[in-house]
Amino acid sequence: MTKRRTGWHGVFVPVVTPFTKDNKIDETSFREVLELLINEGVHGIIASASTGEWFTLDDAERIRVFEIALDQVKSRIPLLGCTTAIATHNAVSLTKTAKELGLDGTLVLPPPYALPNQKELIAYYEAIANVGLPIMVYNNPGRTQININSKIAERLAMFDTVVAFKDSTKDLYQMYETIGAVGDRLAMFCGLEPYALPLLQRGAVGIVAMTPNILGKKAVNLYTYAVSGNWKEAVEVERIIDRLYSYFYNAGYCAYVVIKECMNILGRPAGWPRPPLLPMDDADRNKLRELLKDLGVV
């Protein structure tokens, strides 16, 4: 078996970016959230990813988020920064800056909205790979309308700096195929916690998980229980996460808004979402509070 290119494993959290009510980055709250997550046992942090609302940040703000995270994490666990952009030159520039700052890697989606063909998609990743910073390729066709199947994943795995793969397709069969195709070289991460248990059983080495922002150590335990074979305990955690995910996608708000609302209810400093995303109204926030009570996390 070919040796994997990176030892990244476990629970990597796409951390929220707290904003103040007047839309500024809340640096103090961001540091507090990072410290909470590290103390709760997460294995890696991804700054300015989708959960961190990268799509509302300009390049200078994204770089500032990287700088804060670097200063707070202090190399205690791997730190990745999302450098996705529509234009290839923009993604390359952000990746170069991330490398110069000293991040451990980058998370990169296919360029959203542009709808590149396969040749263009490969060229996009090749240009970013040439920067020399380790890359976690992120497949999320629901957000980009581009599906990186196992055949494309094999093409991308030819680039030495592509070291990991995050899959959020909701297609278990395709996920299994991709693990079979490139799992000997790339660290395979499940991108959606409700799919984590079957993927960990089939060779995935970790989860890129949103719910530690809310649940902390309890969400980390999903991975810990699974890899130690404590499936009963893992399923109990999964049931809580499944109900949260159902609310993420059925509450009438963006999932990232719901995550921040959950955090704020639980006293975790998430701050405000940034427009176009808006906070929940009081009635929906009360419903969410009741859900969290029913789940036993309040």
Distance CA(247)–CA(36), nearest Å, equals 24
Is 294 within the bounds of a domain? no
- 79-118 pLDDT per residue, tens: 999 999 999 999 999 999 999 999 999 999 999 999 999 9
Is 240 within the bounds of a domain? no
> Can you give the pLDDT at residue 298?
86
154 is in which domain, residue-wise? 10-228
User: How many domains would you assign to the chain?
Assistant: 1
This prediction has a pTM of 0.97
Cα angle, residue 157 at apex, residues 122 and 105 outer, rounded to 5°: 90
Mean pLDDT on 213-219: 98
CATH number reported for the structural domain that contains residue 149 in this entry: 3.20.20.70
Is 246 within the bounds of a domain? no
Active site residues: 50, 138, 166
Is 56 within the bounds of a domain? yes
Distance CA(80)–CA(96), nearest Å, equals 13
- 113-147 pLDDT per residue, tens: 999 999 999 999 999 999 999 999 999 999 999 99
Distance CA(22)–CA(51), nearest Å, equals 19
- 235-285 pLDDT per residue, tens: 999 999 999 999 999 999 999 999 999 999 999 999 999 999 999 999 999
Is 46 within the bounds of a domain? yes
Is 276 within the bounds of a domain? no
> Can you give the pLDDT at residue 146?
97
Number of CB atoms found within 10 A of residue 278's CB: 12
Is 242 within the bounds of a domain? no
8: helix, strand or coil: coil
Share of the chain above pLDDT 90, in %: 99
